[in-house]
Structure 1
Amino acid sequence: MKIKNLYLFLIFLLLWACAIRESTNNTTETSEITTNVKIINQISIPCDTLPYNFEYSSILKKDNELYFVGLDESTNALYFYSITSQKFSYKIQKSKEGSDKVIIKDFYIHTQDSIFLLDHYGKKVQLIDSKGKIINNLKFKNEQNRNVVEALSSKRMAFFGKSNRMILPSFVEIEDTKNEFYEHGFSSLFAMTKDSLLLLTEIGRYPKEYIPIENSYYYSTYPDMIKYGHKLILNFSNHHTLFTIDMENKMNKIIEWKSNYLKEDFERLSLDNDIQQASNYISTNGFYTRITVDEETETLYRIVKHTQPLKNVEGKLNQYLECGFSIIYGKLDEPNPKEVLLEKGKYVPYVVHSIGNNQLLISLENPFNPNNEENKLQFEIIELK
């Protein structure tokens, strides 16, 4: 029996090695592949009728308690789940009517008592504390000429307290299939005064590779952005290089972090695509999805979606979360970071947050995870070695 088990194990190792070799074919390796994912803790929070799928989420540390905070747009509320106690704690419910109404489209946690709420279509930003008390209603002082503020899941808000500068997601009202679209910034910089936001400039620029060529383009254009010190780190989904941008709108390359599971060149989508073609493009192609940073240890994590066939062996369309994912991680100046392959069909890798001490909080709410439990919000706290 032991010999048989050993034989099966050796076959498994051989097949796994072949799979890795096939997935990395035609790629330029810049990261060291590792399989060391240490599970620190498993989190299971009963939620019954409470929401558990959130497009926008963050974490909050307060009074030695760690909270997962999710925005549920249908109820116009922020839900606070205690990771420490593994239970629902409370919610901040905002009114959709009246003088203090705000329809939350995005939020940014600056400190435990400074939470910014972005109103629908960028009409205002409301500042509240962690219990929902209104501190200020910030209205836009001048007209937005070209870039219109609106929440997008791939771009987030950021506030720089020392300079009272705020960066909000925005877009120019031009189709991203047009070359002119790429001549404009992808965010707007504001100065925060006592009760208003003064538009200073649009910021950011796209890498030259993003300009449409030969009737094709990169479908997912907006970068994922995260605050780090006095700058923002930019993660473009179809670019191996990471960038930074500062308050003077100076954009610089910092380092190339290429995944071993992605080819050197990214696939493009036809400019005259339809909805189904765009959906297939997102489902099948590999690209970079998110970044998160541990400021305590200066460790950056870059989430990678892998390519997958359009259909499975049964001839059915593969879904987005059926594909493989990995995480590239290391110091910001590390030219050869590590890359860990995540268990397929287990996690929701775009719901991942650094919680300090080289640990990540990552969602288990993958519909293809056979261990999912109904009416529970589930996470793992993991450490990558």
Structure 2
Amino acid sequence: MSFLLRRSTPRAWAGWRDLDTLHSRPDENPVQPPWKATNSSRSVWLEGNVLKINDGLSTPMQLGGVSYWQMPFTQNWGCQMDLNIDGNIIQEQFWAACISPSWTSVAFTDLKELPMVAIYRGPFSGTAAVVILVYHDLNFHDLLAQSEQFSGLMNRLTYQLRILVDRDRLLRVYIDGVLRMQYWLSSSMASGPGRRALNFLNQTSAWSEQRNFILFDQPSDFNSVAPWTSVFYDDFNRADGSPGNGWTTQGSNAGIVGNSWSVTGTSDSSTGLIRDTGVTSGIQRVEAVVGGNNGPSTGADASLVARTNATASEGVSANFYSNHIYLSHWTGSLDSPTWIDYMDTAEVPVAAGATVALCCSVQAAWVEVNGQIAVMADLNNRVTLTNSWAGLRVSRRSSTNSNSWNDVRLLTR
């Protein structure tokens, strides 16, 4: 059932199809390989070339579903199918695709602490969401992230579900071709060699249906843009005061202090420092050293900013705050921004003296800490591609200053 297969060093590519008109076969009850039921008590069968998982009420207090016998080879991979599910509105309802180490290890204990992409509807709700769910034990699970609520995900409506994974960490979920959810997997939940199997679970009160199944490796959607070329550099090694040197300041209470760009006032503030790079391709990199006058802060955030305009009314930012890195976009202005987070991570504490970078390709943005990618997101066409300004931001909150910035570089391809 493979549609593409190449085994070679150093790279292998593969893909498989099933449950479509080219791979039709007689009904099976129970289902046969390349599928394997994940709970011996839960019925999983093939009917009319449709894969069906019985409802969650058929095995109370047990997870149940089916796994597929192959897994992708590379760190950039995906899965696609047509999905049809239903469930009552009284109880919690969800159908999930769990990324797991093995298609043969399917007991509940094998799926604990693993990421599940789920179509989820809460009790007494008429709408559903795409969520990232993780079980800690059979009676306790967390929703790590979720999309907006919308209709059409249950109620026996068929739609295309597409799951894409880049670098084994960036998880994106599409419904009928529209990006509805993205999430940066923690290192403990990331997929990897031998950890790209998929187990499908049905915990709704009705049987689920899967058609037109595809599992595949693919080239990354976020290709490297290196090597970078410097557009501008400033080390701030000059007298305290206004930065000058072609910079535009948005807001007040910031300036050069101790050869770094820093908060200077004693009242709460947010201040931007930007300049025109002349880069209108969207491919920008802002790189700076953390610290100088003020080190990392747990009370106020500092930012690298890219793809903004002369008034800084929108852009992409990497916000550093309380051992978190937030990859965001903003609207309004840098002295009074409204943040909308794409992604965040607390796995990479940023120390004074660290070199951090905010990078933008046409489609994606990512943050590097000392040369290693810490978090990444699909920009989803939310920020104007031709915005050519970039720079920095500092802030003060509740008598606490954000970190200062030193040795800033603006680069492009």
Q: Is the shorter-chain TM-score for this pair beyond 0.5, marking a shared fold?
A: no
Richer in helix (by share): 1
What TM-score do the two structures reach when normalised by structure 1?
Answer: 0.23
Richer in strand (by share): 2
What TM-score do the two structures reach when normalised by structure 2?
Answer: 0.22
